[in-house]
Amino acid sequence: MTEKEQEKLLKELLQKHKTGKLTPSERFKIPPQDMQEQDPIARRKNVNEVALGYPETNARMEALRCLQCKNAPCVKGCPVRIRIKDFIAAIVDGEYAKALAIIKENSLLPAVCGRVCPQEVQCQQTCTVGLKFKDPTKSVSIGRLERFVADLDQDNESVPAVAAETGMKVAIVGSGPGGIVAAADARRVGHDVTIFEAFHKTGGVMVYGIPEFRLPKAIVQREIDVLEEMGVEIITNFIVGRTRTIEQLMKEGGFDAVYIGVGAGLPSFMGIEGESLVGVYSANEYLTRANLMKAYDFGKGADTPIARSRKVAVVGGGNVAMDSARTAVRLGAEKVYLLYRRTEKEMPARVEEVHHAKEEGIDFHILQSPKRIIGDENSHVIAVECLKYQLGEPDDSGRRRPVPIQGSEFRIDLDTVIIAIGNIANPLIRQTTPRLEFNKWGNIVVDEKCKTSMEGVYAGGDIVLGAATVILAMGQGRIAAAAINEYLAEKKKSLAR
Amino acid sequence: MSHKIVSKKRLSEDVFTAEIEAPLIASARKPGQFVIISINNEYSERIPLTIADADPERGIIRLIWQRVGKTTAELADLQEGDEITNISGPLGRPTHVENFGTVVCVGGGIGNAPLLPITKALKKAGNKIISILGARNKMLLILEDEFAQTSDELIITTDDGSYGRKALVTEPLREICQRSPKPNRAFVIGPAIMMKFCCQITKQFDVPTVVSLNTIMVDGTGMCGGCRVEVDGKPKFVCVDGPEFDGHKVNFDLMMKRLDAYKDQEQKAYEQHKKHRCKIGLD
Give the pLDDT confidence of A177-227 residue by residue, as tens digits.
999 999 999 999 999 999 999 999 999 999 999 999 999 999 999 989 989
CA angle A232, A174, B95 (to 5 degrees): 125
A131 touches chain B (CB under 8 A): no
Those of residues 204-243 in B touching chain A at CB distance below 8 A are 218-219, 221-226, 228-230, 235, 237, 240
pTM comes to 0.92
C-alpha pair distances (Å), A184 with each of A104, A162, A189: 12, 9, 9
For chain A, the 3-state helix, strand and coil shares in percent, each to the nearest 5, are 40, 20, 40
- Look over chain A and give the mean of its residue pLDDT values, rounded to a whole number: 93
The pLDDT-based confidence of B283 (bands split at 50, 70, 90) is: very low
What whole-number percentage of chain A has pLDDT above 70? 99
Does the pLDDT value for residue B279 go beyond 70? no
Give the residue from chain A lying closest to B36, CA to CA.
A237
d(CA A228, CA A233): 6
Would the CB atoms of B235 and A297 count as touching at under 8 Å?
Answer: no
Measured CA to CA, the distance from residue A227 to residue A221 in angstroms comes to 10
What amino acid occupies position A296? Y
Instruction: State mean pLDDT over A91-104.
Output: 93
- State which residue of chain B sits closest to A306, comparing Cα positions: B262
CA torsion sign, B202 to B204 to B207 to B211? Answer: positive
Q: Is B94 on the interface with A (CB under 8 A)?
A: no
Chain B residues lying within 8 Å of A267, measured CB to CB: 223-225
Spatial neighbors of B250 by CB under 8 A, at least 6 apart, are B195, B199, B211, B213, B229, B230, B231
| Identity of residue A144 | R
B200 touches A at CB < 8 Å: no
Confidence class of residue A410 from pLDDT cuts 50, 70 and 90? very high
The C-alpha angle B167, B170, B171, rounded to 5 degrees, equals 55
A131 pLDDT more than 80: yes
A276: contact with B, CB 8 A cutoff: yes
Whether A269 has its CB under 8 Å from any CB of chain B: the answer is: yes
Span of A434-443, B35-44, B163-172 with lowest mean pLDDT: B35-44
Percent of chain A exceeding pLDDT 90 equals 80
B28 touches chain A (CB under 8 A): yes
Residue B160: pLDDT over 90: yes
Contact B38 A200 (CB under 8 A): yes
Q: Is the pLDDT of residue A74 over 80?
A: yes
Inspect the interface and report whether the beta carbons of B91 and A239 lie closer than 8 Å: yes
User: Looking at residues A123-132, what average pLDDT do you find?
Assistant: 94
- Give the nearest chain A residue to B269 (CA atoms): A299
Any chain B CB within 8 A of the CB of A236?
yes
Find chain B residues with C-beta within 8 A of A288's C-beta: 218-219, 223-224
pLDDT tens figures, A306-332:
888 999 999 999 999 999 999 999 999
Show residues of chain A in contact with B20, CB under 8 Å.
Answer: none
User: pLDDT category, A157, cuts 50, 70, 90?
Assistant: low
Of residues B61 and B279, more confidently modeled? B61
Which residues have CB under 8 Å from B161's CB, separation 6+?
A: none
Going by C-alpha positions, the residue among A439, A368, A377 that lies closest to residue A404 is A368
Question: Which of B68, B224, B275 has the most A C-beta neighbours within 10 Å, making it the best mutation to test the interface with A?
Answer: B224
Distance, CA of A130 to CA of A139 (rounded, Å): 4
- State residue A152 phi and psi, 5-degree precision: -60, -30
Confidence of residue B262 (pLDDT cuts 50, 70, 90): confident
The minimum CA-CA distance between B94 and chain A, rounded to whole Å, is: 10
Is the Cβ pair B218, A266 closer than 8 Å?
A: no
Per 3-state DSSP, what percentage of chain B is helix, strand, and coil (rounded to 5)?
35, 30, 35
Beta bridge partners of A142: none
Q: Which of A389-398, B38-47, B268-277 has the lowest mean pLDDT?
A: B268-277
Residue A45: burial class (beta carbons within 10 Å; 0-12, 13-18, 19+): exposed
- Is the Cβ of A483 closer than 8 Å to some Cβ of chain B? no
Q: Say whether A265 and B222 touch across the interface (CB within 8 A).
A: yes
Q: Is the backbone peptide bond immediately before A55 cis, with ω within 30 degrees of 0? A: no
Mean pLDDT (whole number) for A368-372:
96
Q: Which phi and psi (to 5°) does residue A365 adopt?
A: -115, 95
Q: Is B147 on the interface with A (CB under 8 A)?
A: no
Q: What is the DSSP string of A361-420?
A: T-EEEETEEEEEEEE-TTSBEEEEEEEEEEEEEE-TTSSEEEEEPTT--EEEE-SEEEE-
Residues B47, B34 contacting (CB under 8 angstroms)? no
> Which amino acid, residue A38?
Q
Q: How far apart are CA A296 and CA A59, in angstroms?
A: 34
Scanning B6-25 for CB atoms below 8 A from A yields 24-25
CA nearest neighbour of B62 among B142, B137, B140, B139? B142
pLDDT tens for each residue of A234-247:
999 999 999 999 99
Q: CB distance A269–B41 less than 8 Å?
A: no
Instruction: Chain B: give the shortest CA distance to residue A200, in Å.
Output: 6
Positive or negative: CA dihedral A278, A284, A285, A290: positive
Half-sphere exposure of residue A193: CA atoms within 13 angstroms, side-chain side: 31
Give the residue from A233, A236, A242 with the most B CB atoms within 10 Å of its CB, the best one to mutate.
A242
User: What distance in Å separates the CA atoms of residue A323 and residue A354, rounded to the nearest whole number?
Assistant: 10
In chain B, residues with a C-beta closer than 8 Å to the C-beta of A428 are 221-222, 240
What is the sign, positive or negative, of the torsion defined by CA atoms of B134, B138, B140, B144? positive
Indicate the range of A155-164, A440-449, B84-93, B231-240 predicted with least confidence: A155-164
Q: Could you tell me if A443 and A451 are in contact, meaning their C-beta atoms sit under 8 angstroms apart?
A: no
Average pLDDT over residues B235-241: 93
Q: How far apart are CA A290 and CA A295, in angstroms?
A: 5
Q: Could you tell me which of A418, A424, A466, A421 has the C-alpha nearest to residue A282?
A: A418
For A111-115, A299-303, A417-421, B87-91, which range has the lowest pLDDT when averaged over its residues?
A: A299-303
Q: Which of B218, B221, B266 sits opposite A239 (nearest CB)?
A: B221
Residues 6+ apart with CB under 8 A from B26: B54, B55, B56, B58, B59, B60, B61
Q: Which H/E stretch holds residue A286?
A: helix A283-290
Interface residue A294 vs chain B (CB under 8 A) = yes
Of the candidates B93, B251, B262, which has its C-beta nearest A305's C-beta?
Answer: B262
Q: Are A364 and A338 in contact (CB under 8 A)?
A: yes
The 3-state DSSP class for residue A319 equals: helix
Are residues A304 and B225, on separate chains, in Cβ contact within 8 Å?
no
pLDDT for the residue B204:
97
More confident residue, A307 or A91: A91
Q: Report the half-sphere exposure of A272 (CA within 13 A, side-chain side).
A: 15
Inter-chain CB pairs, A–B, below 8 Å? 133
Euclidean distance between CA atoms A458 and A13, whole angstroms? 49
B222–A236 C-beta distance less than 8 A: no
Q: What residues of chain A lie within 8 A of the CB of B85, using their CB?
A: 200
Interface contact B45, partner A, CB < 8 A: yes
Interchain CB contact of A218 with B (< 8 Å)? no
The pLDDT assigned to A154 comes to 62
Residue B282 pLDDT exceeds 60: no
Averaged pLDDT score across all residues of chain B: 93
Residue in A294, A270, A297, A293 with CA at minimum distance from that of residue A281: A270
Query: Residue A357 pLDDT more than 50?
Result: yes
For A242, name the nearest residue in chain B, comparing CA atoms only: B90
State the Cα–Cα distance between residues A155 and A144, nearest whole angstrom. 18
Reported ipTM:
0.90
Q: Count CB atoms within 10 A of the CB of residue A454.
A: 18
In 3D space, the residue among A347, A203, A334, A186 whose CA is nearest the CA of residue A263 turns out to be A203
Could you report the per-residue pLDDT of B182-216, keeping only the tens digit for each? 999 999 999 999 999 999 999 999 999 999 999 99
Q: Which residue of B has its CA nearest to A377?
A: B257
